[in-house]
Amino acid sequence: ETAGKVIKCRAAIIWGDKQPFSIEDIEVAPPRAHEVRIKILASGICRSDDHAVNGTISNPAYPIILGHEAAGVVESVGEGVTNLKPGDKVIPLFVPQCGECRCCKSPKTNICVKTKLGNNTGLMEDNTSRFSCKGKDIYNFIGTSTFTEYTVVSDANVAKIDASAPPEKVCLIGCGFSTGYGSAVKVAKIEPGSTCVIFGLGGIGLSVVIGCKVAGATRIIGVDINPEKFAKAKELGVTDCINPQDNTKPIHEVLIELTGGGVDYAFECIGHINSMTSALLSTHYALGTCIIVGVAPKSSQISFDPMIMLFGRTLKGACFGGFKGKDCVPQLVSDYLAKKFDLDGLVTHTLPFEKINEGFELLRSGKSIRTVLLF
């Protein structure tokens, strides 16, 4: 019985800028009011964790426990937590759903005022930490921190899922899969028969492909500079693969020619400003929609001729595929269990948690789509 007690366990800590992960013994304090302590069972390695390691996106002070794509089991709950109990299988949410703020009350967005993506304090709502190591407080990451055997999150940052869901697969619903899939089915709301292009065939781009296919798109074009990504992309439903480096013309011109005037939907899943502009320009000038999914380096800027918007193109962006976590994550897990889509193709590697640095090397070398760490 660990409820109400400090738990000693292992976590992967980043002690400073560009440092590797270091497996340490840590103490995890009991959950306070409206908090939940979770035993992590599986955690995926996402590009955004690597962005945080490199300082590409904003991140709080070190030391920090990263990780945000996981599945686990509730160990104990703090005062006032009514909808979760020990033993519940859960997915932590980096986009919370408090249910009370202006955004949560609007069907137009999945963002919640409690979202800490641009302004991560690394602390719980009462400005304290639940993690300590060698007498030092450790910061958390975007309200989740899943590279640890136990974590504590706010109850707004948890979705309860089906008890039979395999954690080593459904952890991807905690970020990568939902981000891509939702961009297609929820943000773009692709109609059957559409023509789509996906820039970047990593874990996010391939999840967009799965969404395009489920939504009934008939032409799904994949763009990547790494031709090793093409075989898997075709397995998942991509009809044409294009390597921009094989063409002398700008890629948007190639795509406009190939599709007789531009695509219905373009998705940028790389995080480069140049490919964001290419994605926008590859859409049909009147009825096309471009969706920014990739995360560009902090303080980057895009410029384009505003005339290109004047005939009715749409440019939008979304995080976590536009899904409100508490409402949609349990359903996504059920859809997976009902075989509406498959996650197996996205998981290329599984490693024991201690080999986390090896997992990040696989990501950096382009060899993995997703590595799942098992606890």
Interface ranges with Zn ion (CB under 5 A): 46, 48, 98, 101, 104, 112, 175
Partners of residue 267 on adjacent β-strands: 198, 291
143, 244, 262, 330: which one binds ligand APR (CB under 6 A)? 244
Distance CA 269, CA 116 (A): 21
Beta strands in the chain (DSSP E): 7-13, 22-28, 35-44, 70-77, 89-92, 131-133, 136-138, 150-154, 158-160, 195-199, 219-223, 240-242, 265-268, 289-292, 314-317, 347-352, 370-374
Partners of residue 265 on adjacent β-strands: 196, 289
| 101 binds, options Zn ion, ligand APR, none, Cβ within 5 to 8 A by partner type | Zn ion
At closest approach, how far in Å is the CB of 167 from ligand APR? 20
243, two tokens: 């390597």
Q: Is 290 a catalytic residue?
A: no
- Note whether 205 binds ligand APR by CB under 6 A: yes
Nearer to ligand APR, 207 or 259 (CB): 207
Nearer to ligand APR, 72 or 203 (CB): 203
Sequence-ordered alpha helix ranges (H) in 260-299: 273-281
105, two tokens: 């009350």
222, 224, 282, 341: which one binds ligand APR (CB under 6 A)? 224
| 153 binds, options Zn ion, ligand APR, none, Cβ within 5 to 8 A by partner type | none
Distance CA 244, CA 226 (A): 10
- The 310-349 contact track toward ligand APR, x by CB under 6 A, reads ----------------------------------------
Distance CA 224, CA 134 (A): 44
Look up residue 301 and give its DSSP letter: -
Q: Is 300 a catalytic residue?
A: no
At closest approach, how far in Å is the CB of 263 from ligand APR? 16
Nearer to ligand APR, 39 or 229 (CB): 229
At closest approach, how far in Å is the CB of 332 from Zn ion? 15
32, 160, 232, 272: which one binds ligand APR (CB under 6 A)? 272
Q: Is 269 a catalytic residue?
A: no
Helix (H) or strand (E) holding 289: strand 289-292
- Note whether 234 binds ligand APR by CB under 6 A: no
- Sequential DSSP letters for 79-148: TT--S--TT-EEEE-SS---SSSTTTT-TT----TT--SSS--SS-TTS--SEEETTEEEB-STTT--SB
CA-wise closest residue to 371 among 21, 63, 19? 21
**Residue where the block lists tokens 């303080």:** 299
Q: Is 9 a catalytic residue?
A: no
At closest approach, how far in Å is the CB of 51 from ligand APR? 5
- The 165-204 contact track toward ligand APR, x by CB under 6 A, reads -----------x--x-------------------xxxxxx
Partners of residue 268 on adjacent β-strands: 199, 292
Q: Is 48 a catalytic residue?
A: yes
Q: Which phi and psi (to 5°) does residue 89 adopt? A: -80, 135
- Note whether 31 binds ligand APR by CB under 6 A: no
- Note whether 295 binds ligand APR by CB under 6 A: yes
Q: Which of 34, 68, 252, 284 is catalytic?
A: 68
Helix (H) or strand (E) holding 158: strand 158-160
- Note whether 373 binds ligand APR by CB under 6 A: no
- Strand order, beta sheet including 136-138: 7-13, 22-28, 131-133, 136-138
At closest approach, how far in Å is the CB of 72 from Zn ion? 16
Contact range with ligand APR by CB under 6 A, out of 14-22, 124-132, 146-154, 292-300: 292-300
| 104 binds, options ligand APR, Zn ion, none, Cβ within 5 to 8 A by partner type | Zn ion
Q: Dihedral sign, CA of 143, 149, 152, 158? A: positive
- Note whether 101 binds ligand APR by CB under 6 A: no
- Note whether 48 binds ligand APR by CB under 6 A: yes
Query: Rounded to 5, what percent of the chain is helix, strand, coil?
Result: 30, 25, 45
**What residues are labeled active site?**
46, 48, 51, 68, 175
Residues in contact with ligand APR by the rule CB under 6 A? 46-48, 51, 176, 179, 199-205, 223-226, 229, 244, 269-272, 275, 293-295, 366
